[in-house]
A and B are shown apart, each in its own frame.
Chain A
Amino acid sequence: MQCNTHLKYRCAITVMAVLMLFSCRAKKINEEKPFPEKAAFYTFEAIRDTVKNTTAFKVLKVTVVDTKLNYSPDNAKANNPNSIKVEITESHKTIVAYADHPLFKKFDLYGDSGEITSKLISLPKAQVTLRVPYFEEYRTIKITETVNFKMSNPILIKHEN
């Protein structure tokens, strides 16, 4: 009888130990990966559909280089009236980046006296390049555009392979 009790305790302790082991491992898996020592330059092409008032985006080029970026997304750009939010999803991570909208450019114009004015230019087609940390090939890229402070439904680009 006593032997059975001991056996029960032993089994319980073993099960608890295994559970503890797994809980430790799970915690480790969830730990934030440090930034890798690679960066990617993603170049997108944006084409405006003036009938539907939407923009089509496609990935033109991804250049991966060996460098360590001290990266944080430029959140200030999210407040701009014309901007894009790009979410690049790899197998374990999503990198977020903001950029000025490539099709709606604001330029400062400089007078001789130092006075500054501006001009907003709308383009039918343009490119934009973003630099982000790189872990592995992207699976999906979600682009949400804001035009004149209005946010559109996100566009999803899937990796071709």
Chain B
Amino acid sequence: MKTNLLLLFVFIYAGVFGQSVIGVDTLRKSGPISKRINLVLMGDGYVTTEIPQYITDATTVSSYLLNTSPFSRYKNYFNVYAIKCVSPQSGVTHAGTATDVTEPASPIINVTNYFDTQFDNYNIHRLIYSNDQNTVYSVLASNFPNYDQVVILGNSTEYGGAGGAYAVSSVNSNSKEIVAHEMGHSFAGLADEYWAGPSYAAEKPNMTATSNTTTIKWAPWIGTNGIGAYAYGTAAPDNGWFRPHQNCKMRYLGSPYCSVCAQTIIEKIHSLTNPIDEYTPSNTGAVGAQWFKSKLIQPNPNTLKRTWTLNSTVMANNIDSVLINAGALPAGNNMLTLTVVDTTNLSRDMNHAAFHTFSIVWSVNKNIIAGLEEAKAQLEFSVYPNPASNVINLKYNVLEAAQLNITVTDLSGKAVIKVDNTKTLAGQYVKEIDVNALTEGVYFLSITLNGQTTNTKFVIFK
């Protein structure tokens, strides 16, 4: 009741006194603001009764962007918010002053809206921009100061948009592509792949003065997905600059991002976010033997490779958690490292691993008692003989009924044997596993009990 009265008051206030901000809606929440890229939308030219339409428009535009590759694979890295700004009047000003069309190209209207969003900026009809930058930043400062990208939607179905410190777009169905193009500039620092003039010829991730395909900055992509070294034009100075593709979104709306631009976007995503979302224990100083757990922000498909090493020896790959038993630890401090790297085939950046390998390092000391009882309470097991040749025996003791998975992986993390996926009652078990098909080498046996994975290493010797 109180909330309804408050909303009614806000609506009446907005209607009588003009503009106001009536809140921020969360359109997509993938995780904490501090750990995600925050896309913030603001509407202009929406009156009180049009705010539901604004939310629909903001959802449409942001969904379009996040369903465009490569953003689509990394949706989980983004939050989306819509600041609800009520304008005194509906629509976007069209002064009819453009010189690039025969005016009136659309009905002339003069609208008092929140951010002074209008067409015909600088006498260009489709150049829609929010000119009251002071108000734009005041609203951001008051409502969502830790934005990463800002998009302003002008409430008009006339086609138009612009980039800059914030992208502006109308809600014409084709304008969504403008937002995607402008994100290429403002988010990833991409150059246009059309010739924007000599003033804008500069070394960028997707623009270079080098045409040698073996030394060009996108050399690993040459010959793949139409990537080459294409001159911007046939005469100087255009012919001295090169783009990676002939039909990229940074040149034509409606086209996909080329492989080089997609790679740049992915690298940017990784420079803004750490894929290791959570880990325990959160204290990485001297800790005792226990479960070490991690939660990643997973792309779709999940291309993150997770490696656990103890004192530089790989102990497990691509699992959420490992159990370190005090008995297996050497005396003193031991270094447990979780390393995460994105193995996506959308990036061939030669610096990818150097810049975007993320890790957590714990110092583990067998003399510190912490958390081990909890780990022990779930599962105890051993593998014998080790080394083995044809058969290994897995002896395990389940203390409480649980869902049990047993997997054998090779050193690359590939599952070579999957044994079980059954509900297991409490008790002692010995399971014989046929390893005859395995070649000589080191393998990991993982038991996952109710989502918690424990590993042990064994050797096949023939």
The residues of A with any CB-CB pair to B shorter than 8 Å are 39, 41, 43, 61, 63, 65, 67-70, 72, 74, 76-77, 79-82, 99-100, 105-110, 112, 114-121, 127-129, 131, 148-149
Q: Which of B198-206, B233-241, B314-322 contacts A (4 or more CB under 8 A)?
A: B198-206
Closest 4 A/B residue pairs (Cβ): A76-B189, A114-B253, A118-B196, A67-B145
Residues of B within 8 A of A80 (CB): 202
Residue of B nearest to A74 (CB): B189
Residue of B nearest to A61 (CB): B134
* A108:B192 contact, CB within 8 angstroms: yes
- Expressed in whole angstroms, the minimum distance between the Cβ of B179 and any Cβ of chain A is 11
Residues of B within 8 A of A114 (CB): 177, 252-255
Residue of B nearest to A65 (CB): B145
Residue of A nearest to B160 (CB): A110
Name the interface residues of B236-263: CB closer than 8 Å to any CB of A: 251-255
Q: Mark B128-143, 1 if CB is under 8 A from A, else 0.
A: 0100011001101110
For the complex, give the distance between the alpha carbons of A74 and B163 in Å.
16
Name the interface residues of B123-173: CB closer than 8 Å to any CB of A: 124, 126-127, 129, 133-134, 137-138, 140-142, 145-146, 159-165
| B366 within 8 A of partner (CB) | no
- Expressed in whole angstroms, the minimum distance between the Cβ of B347 and any Cβ of chain A is 18
For the complex, give the distance between the alpha carbons of A114 and B194 in Å.
12
* B137:A129 contact, CB within 8 angstroms: yes
For the complex, give the distance between the alpha carbons of A148 and B100 in Å.
26
For the complex, give the distance between the alpha carbons of A105 and B199 in Å.
11
A-B CB contacts (within 8 Å), total count: 109
Residue of B nearest to A76 (CB): B189
* B127:A116 contact, CB within 8 angstroms: no
* B162:A107 contact, CB within 8 angstroms: yes
- Expressed in whole angstroms, the minimum distance between the Cβ of A140 and any Cβ of chain B is 23
Residue among A67, A105, A107, A118 with most chain B CB within 10 A: A107
Residue of A nearest to B204 (CB): A79
* B194:A68 contact, CB within 8 angstroms: no
* A118:B133 contact, CB within 8 angstroms: no
Q: Can you list 30 A-B contacts (CB < 8 A)?
A: A39-B145, A39-B146, A43-B133, A43-B134, A67-B146, A68-B146, A72-B271, A80-B202, A106-B196, A106-B200, A107-B127, A107-B164, A108-B182, A109-B127, A114-B177, A116-B181, A116-B194, A116-B253, A117-B194, A118-B197, A119-B122, A119-B124, A120-B197, A127-B133, A127-B134, A128-B133, A128-B165, A129-B134, A148-B199, A149-B202
Residues of A within 8 A of B189 (CB): 74, 76-77
Residues of A within 8 A of B252 (CB): 114-116
**Which one, A65, A70, A110, A118, contacts B34 given CB within 8 A?**
A70
Given A39-B145, A100-B164, A115-B252, 16 additional A-B pairs, CB 8 A: A61-B134, A67-B145, A69-B145, A70-B146, A79-B202, A81-B199, A106-B196, A108-B162, A108-B163, A108-B181, A109-B126, A116-B251, A118-B196, A120-B197, A129-B137, A131-B137
| B272 within 8 A of partner (CB) | yes
- Expressed in whole angstroms, the minimum distance between the Cβ of B102 and any Cβ of chain A is 15
**Which one, A63, A72, A107, contacts B137 given CB within 8 A?**
A63
- Expressed in whole angstroms, the minimum distance between the Cβ of B145 and any Cβ of chain A is 4
- Expressed in whole angstroms, the minimum distance between the Cβ of A130 and any Cβ of chain B is 9
* A118:B192 contact, CB within 8 angstroms: yes
Residues of B within 8 A of A148 (CB): 199
* B145:A131 contact, CB within 8 angstroms: yes
Residues of A within 8 A of B336 (CB): none
For the complex, give the distance between the alpha carbons of A148 and B200 in Å.
9
Contact-size category for B: 35 or more
Residues of A within 8 A of B197 (CB): 118, 120
| B178 within 8 A of partner (CB) | yes
- Expressed in whole angstroms, the minimum distance between the Cβ of A87 and any Cβ of chain B is 19
* A105:B254 contact, CB within 8 angstroms: no
- Expressed in whole angstroms, the minimum distance between the Cβ of A4 and any Cβ of chain B is 44
Known A76-B189, A82-B199, A119-B124: A65·B255 in contact at CB below 8 Å: no
Residues of B within 8 A of A39 (CB): 145-146
* B137:A43 contact, CB within 8 angstroms: yes
Residues of B within 8 A of A129 (CB): 133-134, 137, 165
Q: Mark B5-46, 1 if CB is under 8 A from A, else 0.
A: 000000000000000000000000000001000000000000
* A79:B203 contact, CB within 8 angstroms: yes
* A81:B146 contact, CB within 8 angstroms: no
For the complex, give the distance between the alpha carbons of A81 and B199 in Å.
6
Residues of B within 8 A of A131 (CB): 137, 145
Residues of B within 8 A of A119 (CB): 122, 124, 127
**Which one, B137, B146, B204, contacts A69 given CB within 8 A?**
B146
For the complex, give the distance between the alpha carbons of A120 and B252 in Å.
19
- Expressed in whole angstroms, the minimum distance between the Cβ of B362 and any Cβ of chain A is 21
For the complex, give the distance between the alpha carbons of A131 and B137 in Å.
9
**Which one, B122, B138, B161, B199, contacts A110 given CB within 8 A?**
B161
Residues of B within 8 A of A128 (CB): 133, 165
Residues of A within 8 A of B204 (CB): 76, 79
Residues of B within 8 A of A127 (CB): 133-134
* A120:B160 contact, CB within 8 angstroms: no
For the complex, give the distance between the alpha carbons of A38 and B146 in Å.
10
* A107:B122 contact, CB within 8 angstroms: yes
Residues of A within 8 A of B181 (CB): 108, 116
Residue of B nearest to A113 (CB): B252
Residues of B within 8 A of A74 (CB): 189
Residues of A within 8 A of B134 (CB): 43, 61, 127, 129
For the complex, give the distance between the alpha carbons of A108 and B164 in Å.
10
For the complex, give the distance between the alpha carbons of A127 and B132 in Å.
10
* B126:A118 contact, CB within 8 angstroms: no
* B162:A70 contact, CB within 8 angstroms: no
